[in-house]
Every structure is written in structure tokens, then in C-alpha cells.
Amino acid sequence: MKHFFNRKDSIVTEALDGFLATAGSGTLARLDGYPEIKVVLRADWDKTKVSIVSGGGAGHEPSHAGFVGAGMLTAAVSGEIFASPSVEAVLAAIRATTGPAGCLLIVKNYTGDRLNFGLAAEKARAEGFAVEMVIVADDIALPDIAQPRGVAGTLFVHKIAGHLSESGHDLASVAAAARAAAKDIVSLGISLSSCSIPGQAHEDRFGADDGELGLGIHGEPGVERIALEAASKLVAIMAERFAARLDPHSRYALLINNLGSVPPLEMSLIANAVLSSSLARAVALTIGPGHLMTALNMNGFSLSLIRLNADREAALSAPVGPHAWLPAKPVRQPVVVAVAKPASRDAAKTTSRDAGVERLITAICEKLISLEEPLNSLDAKAGDGDTGSTVATGARSVLDRADTLPLADRGATLATIGDILGTSMGGSSGVLLSIFFTAAAQSLKGGAPLGMALLAGLDRMTFYGGAKVGDRTMVDALEPALKAFDASGLEAAAAAARRGAEATAAMRKAKAGRSAYIGRQLDIADPGAFAVAEVFSAVAAMFAPA
């Protein structure tokens, strides 16, 4: 897997400097001592308050440096990627931030972190500092393990302890609240891939149709392999695991954490699945979804819940300085606003019959439906191969509604066809044709003859769409056809459309539409122009003398 970096041994220090350079607040700094000492701290810190220090290996960004600031961490100590920071680095952070009020260390339950932070705490105490340490072990993936891992639920402890410190509480009360909070947190993760480390060979242990439940934030294998299913089913599995650990009579805050590379679209879908699951009954506040404690580029997410009381709810809801912290928000059902009715009641025309108009519309639609495969074949050579299907879908939609059209009113018929195509065809083609018919209908209602009305529709379509003759689009056939129709009738229009469509085959490079993004030369007719020529030929044949 590819990564952006300069040298493997400078990734973390360069990333921290990039973070500080773009933080913009002026309230953050780092201790001297790169590369051994990697500490980000508050430059505005008041040592009369309890300092809150945490950290761990890099690779979990925005944790931990991203949470340094007012109302959260006083300092974050970083190791190399997925490696505990050194004792010297932790001790340097304690010395730099701790005054008479003392220091609270918040540590995730990994052996390296416990040992290095623990030894630093002992050395700091020997130097006369008041230091307490809270260990967070929130992962419930292995329910019988004696030492559960500390994962994203640690951020709840950062927020609660940081709030109490900022509010002026003493070390004993801050530490007690942090320990109590840590006992009331549960977390569980799921992923569809492992993470890869810059500069190291990567071999993904996952299959194409499976994932892992309960894997760690360093890419450790999960507790069990699970089949890839709908997001709602995966969330239901997680909810079932949580159920045994939650108090049915308590309210909880939920943290929805992106472990690295899940797109925002999917994270919002996951949030909806969680808040539609059995977990929703217990959730009063949400944090996220978003990147909070990642595992580099892992394609997964984790859920963390903490039991709420009045003090924790106030602490989690309090504003903070770090932008990486996502504000806690109460759960709200989506607000649905009624769709506004059309301002003009002319939009709802009464169904009426006109046999001639009905035959014309039917012939055009049937012709377009018959062209589905040829148009798809043409488009496959210049685009994504769906022009025929898109056009046929629109034609079928018009035919399906033929018995509801106001056929005796030409303007209303064009307007209705525009509405149908705008909602049924999809993509730019549907919108362009909807503009064409809608504008033509307005012109026709204003008294213009049919030929001029259709040209008015073309004018609006090309204005909004941006294409003109020579750009290799359907306009190359439609514009000459409509001009010929207005001046000389259907036979001339059909001939002009055919010449325009054939001319597109000699246009080696499209200047508009999706095929404009293709670098190679084209030597086939534009599918839209070809469809226009076929329609005009079919209509001309209908009205040709016997």
C-alpha cells in the first residue's frame, strides 16, 4: 500500500510540526528535544491547575496532540508509530506542565504505555511532583481477558478530566472522577481491512468478503472473523455484544469513531444504523461520527459508550479549544419539512386526449426504446455505456404515463414531459431534456409557434448545459434540425439532424459532456446526436406522403 512520507524515521516529527504550523491558535507549542522528546503542550497553561497529560504511539491522529487545548489535555506525549513514548518524554511533559496542583496521567491499557508512563510517574514523584495515573481499559472484545485494551473510549476520560481541571478542581477529585468514568466505558471496533504502516511491507489478512470484529487500534487481529453483511446487520452484532454490559436503566453518551479510511458518506450511514438499532434506547448524547482515535488507514469504525450522570453530561457538553474534538450533541430525529406546492396551479393540468399527439409521442418513445442497445454500444466507446439505458428509461416513463397527459394542450404536454424526464432519467441528460421541454412549454404558452418554441427550449438548454454546435453533443444534431424544422418542415429537419450526427464522428475531441474527459481521439458518432437523428427520421417517416 502506498503512503506519502519523506523518511521513515522522521514521519512523526514532521507530522507534529505540520500540525503545529497549521493549528493556528498560537496556544500550542512543543518541547525541545526532537526526535527523542515528542511533546505537544499548551503554551498558555496555568500551572495553578491540575495538568492532564496523555499520549501513546503515533498513528492514532488526531489523538493525541489534536486534543491538547483548553478544556482537554495539557500535553500529549507521542512515540513512534504504534510505539509507546519513552519514559524521558513522559517525564519531560510532567516537568513542563506541572505545578503545585499536580498532574494526572491518562494511559491506555497497553503494557508499554503502563510501564513507561508508570516509571515516569514514579520518577516525577521522587522529584517532588504530585502525580496520579488513570488506566483506561474500555475494549470489550475479549470479555474474559484480565487486562482489556484501552481504545477510543479513553477520549471520554480526556474530556471529563480536562473539564474538571479547567474548572479548578483539585488532583484528588479529578483523578477520582477520571477513574470512575473509566470504569463506566465500553468500546468495540469492527473493520474490513487491517492498517498499513508507512515504509513497511503490508499484507492484508482479510478476504474479499469478510471483516473482523474486535480488532485493536494497532492492527492487531480481531476476536473473530465475520462475513461482510449490510451495515445494519454488523451494527446489530455489535449492539448485541454491548447489551450485556449496559445498564438498561441508564443513559449513555455514544462516541462514533472512524478508525481511518471509512468515507464520510459511510460513517453517516453507520451513525444512522446505530441510532436505529437497539442501542438507540440508551443513547442521549452523541460525539461524532468522525476521526477521533484512528489506526492509520484502517477501514473500520468503533463505538464507545459511557454511562452518564449530571456531572459527566456537563463535562462532555462543555466547549473546548481543540478543533479535533467533536461537540457532544443530543440525539435528534431528522426534521422533515413538507414539500412546497407549486406556486402556479397550472402545473396540474387535467388529463385530455388527442389521438395524433398520442401517436407521435408513442412513436418517438418506442424508437428511443429500440435504440437502447445501439446507443449503449456507442457510448461504451466514449463514455460509461449507459446513454441508451438512460434514454430508454425516460421514454418508458413517458409511455407509462401517456394516459395521464394533457394531450389536447400542447404547452401543458411539453411541460409534463419535462417533469417526467427530469425525475425519471437521472444524470445530466434528464435535466437537460427537462430544461428543453419546460422552456419550450413556456414559450408555447406565450403564443410562439411550435418551431420557435422548440428553439426557445434549445436556447435555454444550451445556456445551462454550456454545449454548442461543434462540441460533439446532441446539440450538433438538434440545433440544425430545429432550425430546419422551423424554416422548412420535418423532412428538412430529419436531413439536417442526420448531417449533424454524422459530423460528430469527425470531431476527434469532445468539448462538452462526459466524453470531454477522455484524452484519446474519437472516431464514432456522438450517441446523443445519433439518437436525435433517429428520432427525427422516425417522425418524418410518420408524416411522409403515402
Q: Given this model, what pLDDT does residue 181 score?
A: 98
Q: Are residues 305 and 239 in the same domain?
A: yes
Count structural domains, the chain: 2
Flag whether 72 is in a domain.
Answer: yes
Cell (9 digits) for 254: 455514544
User: How far, in Å, CA of 65 to CA of 529, rounded?
Assistant: 57
- Are the CB atoms for 253 and 286 separated by under 8 Å? yes
User: How far, in Å, CA of 190 to CA of 211, rounded?
Assistant: 7
Give the residue-averaged pLDDT of 254-272.
98
Q: Choosing from 60, 64, 158, 218, which is the catalytic residue?
A: 218
Residue in the block written with cell 407509462: 400
User: How far, in Å, CA of 532 to CA of 530, rounded?
Assistant: 5
Q: Which of 281, 296, 330 is the last residue of a domain?
A: 330
Confidence category of residue 1, pLDDT binned at 50, 70, 90: confident
| Cβ-Cβ contacts under 8 Å for 309 (sequence gap 6 or more) | none
Alpha carbons within 13 angstroms on the beta-carbon side of residue 127 total: 17
Pick left, alpha or beta for residue 514 (phi over 0 → left; psi -120 to 50 → alpha; otherwise beta). Answer: alpha
Q: Are residues 233 and 379 in the same domain?
A: no
- Mean pLDDT for the chain overall: 93
Q: Given this model, what pLDDT does residue 478 score?
A: 97
Flag whether 299 is in a domain.
Answer: yes
The DSSP 8-state label assigned to residue 453 in this structure reads: H
Q: Are residues 400 and 280 in the same domain?
A: no
Cα-Cα-Cα-Cα torsion 39, 45, 46, 49, nearest 10 degrees, comes to -60
Q: Is the pLDDT of residue 63 over 80?
A: yes
Confidence category of residue 522, pLDDT binned at 50, 70, 90: low
Strands (E), 278-434: 283-291, 300-307, 329-330
Flag whether 202 is in a domain.
Answer: no
pLDDT, one tens digit per residue, over 306-355 is 999 999 999 999 999 999 999 999 999 899 999 988 776 554 568 999 99
Confidence category of residue 519, pLDDT binned at 50, 70, 90: very low
> Strand, helix or coil at 153?
coil
Residue of higher predicted confidence among 342 and 535: 535
Q: Are residues 252 and 282 in the same domain?
A: yes
> Strand, helix or coil at 383?
coil
Query: Domain holding 77: CATH number?
Result: 3.40.50.10440
Q: Are residues 526 and 387 in the same domain?
A: yes
Query: Beta strands 252-258 and 210-213: pairing type?
Result: unpaired
Say what percent of the chain tops pLDDT 70.
96
| Cβ-Cβ contacts under 8 Å for 176 (sequence gap 6 or more) | none
pLDDT, one tens digit per residue, over 172-226 is 999 999 999 999 999 999 999 999 999 888 877 888 889 999 988 998 888 899 9
Query: Domain holding 383: CATH number?
Result: 1.25.40.340
Three state DSSP letters for 17-46: HHHHHHHCCCCEEECCCCCCCCEEEECCCC
Q: Which of 330, 357, 372 is the last residue of a domain?
A: 330
Give the residue-averaged pLDDT of 509-516.
52
Q: Is the pLDDT of residue 112 over 90?
A: yes
Flag whether 244 is in a domain.
Answer: yes
Q: Are residues 387 and 252 in the same domain?
A: no
Q: Given this model, what pLDDT does residue 518 score?
A: 43
DSSP bridge partners of 259: none
Pick left, alpha or beta for residue 299 (phi over 0 → left; psi -120 to 50 → alpha; otherwise beta). Answer: beta
DSSP bridge partners of 283: 252
Separation in Å, CA 444 to CA 391, 410, 451: 24, 8, 9
Q: Are residues 363 and 289 in the same domain?
A: no
Q: Given this model, what pLDDT does residue 512 score?
A: 54
Q: Given this model, what pLDDT does residue 347 score?
A: 47
Give the residue-averaged pLDDT of 494-522.
71
Q: Burial code of 467-478, b = ≥16 C-beta within 10 A, e = fewer? A: beeebbbbbbbb
Q: Given this model, what pLDDT does residue 384 score?
A: 74
Separation in Å, CA 175 to CA 72, 73, 179, 255, 352: 14, 14, 6, 22, 79
Confidence category of residue 457, pLDDT binned at 50, 70, 90: very high
Q: Are residues 119 and 191 in the same domain?
A: yes
Q: Given this model, what pLDDT does residue 143 score?
A: 79
Flag whether 496 is in a domain.
Answer: yes
| Cβ-Cβ contacts under 8 Å for 258 (sequence gap 6 or more) | 267, 288, 289, 290, 291, 292, 294, 301
Alpha carbons within 13 angstroms on the beta-carbon side of residue 174 total: 32
Flag whether 101 is in a domain.
Answer: yes
Cell (9 digits) for 18: 505540520
Domain limits for position 408? 349-542
Maximum alpha-carbon separation in the chain: 109
Q: Are residues 100 and 148 in the same domain?
A: yes
DSSP bridge partners of 258: 291, 301
Q: Which pTM value belongs to this model?
A: 0.77
Q: Is the pLDDT of residue 421 over 60?
A: yes
pLDDT, one tens digit per residue, over 355-405 is 999 999 999 999 999 999 999 999 888 677 899 999 999 999 999 999 999
Q: Given this model, what pLDDT does residue 344 score?
A: 62
Flag whether 368 is in a domain.
Answer: yes
Residue of higher predicted confidence among 26 and 173: 173
Concerning whether 323 is annotated as a catalytic residue, the answer is: no
Q: Are residues 431 and 303 in the same domain?
A: no
Confidence category of residue 514, pLDDT binned at 50, 70, 90: very low
Confidence category of residue 520, pLDDT binned at 50, 70, 90: very low
Q: Which of 330, 363, 383 is the last residue of a domain?
A: 330
Cell (9 digits) for 406: 394533457
| Cβ-Cβ contacts under 8 Å for 218 (sequence gap 6 or more) | 57, 59, 82, 195, 295
Q: Are residues 301 and 448 in the same domain?
A: no
Q: Are residues 182 and 128 in the same domain?
A: yes
DSSP bridge partners of 330: 285
Give the residue-averaged pLDDT of 49-70.
97
Strands (E), 72-114: 75-81, 103-108
Separation in Å, CA 225 to CA 128, 138, 192: 49, 21, 10
Flag whether 336 is in a domain.
Answer: no
